[in-house]
Amino acid sequence: MKRTLSSLLLVGLLSLALAACGGNSGKGDAGAGNAGGSGAKTEISVLVGKQEISKQFEEMVQEYNSSQDKVKVSLIPMAGQNGYQRITTLYASNNAPNIMHFLSEFDQMKDKLADLSDQEWVQHANAGTLDYVTVDNKVYGMPMSIEAFGFLYNKKVLDAAVGGSFDPSTIRTQDDLKALFDKIEATGAKAVEITPVDWSLGAHFTNVFAANESQDHAGRLQYLEDLKSGKVDLAQDQVFNGWLDTLDLIKQYNYAKDAPLSATYDDAPIVLADGQAGMWFMGNWAYTQIKEIDPEGEYGFLPVPVSNNAGDFGNSRISVGVPEYWVVDASQSTPEEQQASKDFLNWMVSSEKGQDYYVNQFGFLPAYDNFTTKPTDPVSTSVLSYTESENTLAWMNSYYPPDAFPAMAASLQKYLGGEIDRAGLTKEFQAYWASAGKK
């Protein structure tokens, strides 16, 4: 999905953003200069909302620019907005990014996007990864990567807690999870941390209950429609209440229990890598920061159980999917800018340097079968163990309305902070989905 960009990205990208923020005249000049054959470069802009790869993406762009005679790539900062807000603002000012990435915004934005069906990478995309962005047999988005989320754990801490080599298959119920939390805290470390940012709470954590509501895709989609139409009573929903029981467990053992809303994404990798906490609800993208602190450490994933029945559908699965898609604007971009944008995207997933950045610098799991650079880190290995055994949950947050995750995150933040109780949280969720059904 991705994720709202913090001040870290603003600092990292500001120096490259100025050319991309000069309004429509700058884009027009670049295109006109190229068409006129004067030697001016075609300048394209990229909106990147992934905080965890900001530094590495900037370095990749610099390397790409140094190899180009006719194209220059510039980066646009998020300016304190989430992705949907920033994209909407830029379109309204007639300064749309040439390249951007999003997920749930696709349905609202698809009429503004370039057809990418003839691009080379389409033939190499993994089965099913293009379904979400295919309309009338035309492909409008390039899968960014394969991502997963669940309880990301530090094996060294868990080994100490269990007095041997920790086996992730031993955690299949809420009671199993509580027992593990107790063992971790007996070592002096905190059991778990949860980062209260809106994309993690509102998109990823809520996905756990939405994906557990049915064992088949059609049933899960129907569940979301039933939420909108008011056919679901969340207060009586067994999976939803089991999910809240797990959230209560996390609240009880939270590393930042005394000030849960003060926890930051930037601090969390340090807490986990230093062994201050044994687990963190997060995704594989975070390993980029973790390995900078603990390059020799072993890390892996645990599912988020929502019941005390070890055989229940999702209790042995982690959430795996395409987090977002790269797309190219066609409504405000010149033909030269669109072509340069497509060339840049192709370079990222087909060239040796692009693949190296994707796998070794971004920590991405490729969504393509032509990658010669393969991930070997322990987190990717853990994800692959779940995908190869088909122990995965769908990313149902991909099908949320664009304002769903910020709305639900706001309620979850209040719940973590003690401003509302379970009944209040349930009521706010119910009200949001009822309002979504009227839009």
Question: What topology is assigned to 147-321+393-437 in CATH?
Answer: D-Maltodextrin-Binding Protein; domain 2 (3.40.190)
Residue 1 confidence (pLDDT) above 70: no
What are the boundaries of each domain within the chain?
42-145+322-369, 147-321+393-437
Sheet of strand 142-143: strand arrangement = 71-76, 42-47, 99-102, 325-328, 142-143
Task: Sort 302 into a burial class: Cβ within 10 Å, 0-12 / 13-18 / 19+.
Answer: buried
Please report how the helices 155-162 and 174-186 are oriented relative to each other, as an axis angle in degrees rounded to 10: 90
Over residues 221-245, the mean pLDDT reads 97
For 358-394, how does the pLDDT look when each residue is reduced to its tens digit (9 = 90+)? Answer: 999 988 999 998 999 988 899 999 998 998 888 999 9
Question: Residue 305: which pLDDT band, with cuts at 50, 70 and 90?
Answer: very high
pLDDT at 39: 65
Q: What is the pTM of this model?
A: 0.74
pLDDT at 32 over 70: no
pLDDT for the residue 237: 98
Q: What percent of the chain has pLDDT over 90?
A: 77
Indicate the pLDDT class of residue 2, thresholds 50, 70 and 90: very low
The answer to whether 306 and 312 have CB atoms below 8 angstroms apart is yes
Give the residue, 375 or 181, on which the prediction is more confident.
181
Which helix (DSSP H) or strand (DSSP E) does residue 99 occupy? strand 99-102
pLDDT of residue 28 exceeding 60, the answer is no
pLDDT score at 12: 36
> Residue 94 carries which side chain, given as an amino acid letter?
N
Tell which residue, 120, 319, 322, has the closest CA to residue 209. 319
Cα separation, 420 vs 368, in Å, equals: 44
Closest alpha carbon to 436 in 122, 155, 197, 226: 226
Q: What is the pLDDT of residue 183?
A: 98
CATH of domain 42-145+322-369: 3.40.190.10
Alpha-carbon gap, residue 29 to 95, rounded angstroms: 13
* pLDDT value at 38 more than 60: no
Structure-model confidence comparison of residues 387 and 149, the more confident one: 149
Least confidently predicted of 123-137, 174-188, 233-247: 123-137
370/187 Cα distance (integer angstroms): 45
Q: What is the pLDDT of residue 322?
A: 92
Half-sphere exposure of 226 (CA within 13 A, CB side): 14
164 Cβ contact partners less than 8 Å away, ≥ 6 residues apart = none
pLDDT of 246-295, one tens digit each? 999 999 999 999 999 999 999 999 999 999 999 999 999 899 899 999 99
Residue with tokens 């991705």, as numbered in its chain: 2
Geometric angle at alpha carbon 265, from 262 and 266, rounded to 5°: 105
C-alpha to C-alpha distance for 35 and 86, rounded to whole angstroms: 29
Q: What is the pLDDT of residues 345-359, one digit of tens each?
A: 999 999 999 999 999
Cα 304–Cα 310–Cα 311 angle in degrees, nearest 5: 110
Return the H-helix or E-strand segment holding 12.
helix 7-17
